Amino acid sequence: MENDCLFCKIASGQTDTPFLFENEHLVVFRDIHPHAPVHLLIVPKRHIRSVNDLTEADHAVLAEMIMTAKLMAKQENVDASGYKLLINVERGGGQVIFHLHLHLMGGKVW
């Protein structure tokens, strides 16, 4: 865990953020600044700063993030209507919190 990382604090339970899903590797919670009616964040518990910091050993966590997004889309009733998955990479790509996370957004027509 990075001491100053907000998502590390959230994932380790140091905040009162309610989880919609949690397992050994990931947590899922609602974005506090949603860009769609359904806007969830899928976050690894282990600190990975950015896509640029992924290693070959991280294949499993990425697959688990995608499969969890599929599960959450069904749970949030946006699986049939459609949803967007987005990972921002570095400041120029819109990354604001430097802990890898996957946005799941749905419930509106883009």
Taking only the tens place, the pLDDT of each residue in 74-108 is: 999 999 999 999 999 999 999 999 999 999 999 98
Q: Which residues are catalytic?
A: 101
Range of the domain at 67: 6-22+29-85
* Domain annotation covers residue 101: no
CA distance 52 to 56: 12
Instruction: Calculate mean pLDDT across residues 59-73.
Output: 97
Residue 93 lies in a domain: no
Tokens coding 102: 């996957």
CATH number for position 47: 3.30.428.10
Total structural domains within the chain:
1
Q: How far apart are the first and last CA of the chain?
A: 36
22-65 confidence digits (pLDDT tens): 999 999 999 999 999 999 999 999 999 999 999 999 999 999 99
pLDDT tier for residue 21 given thresholds of 50, 70 and 90: very high
94 within a domain of the structure (yes/no): no
pLDDT at 5: 96
> Is the residue at 34 inside a domain?
yes
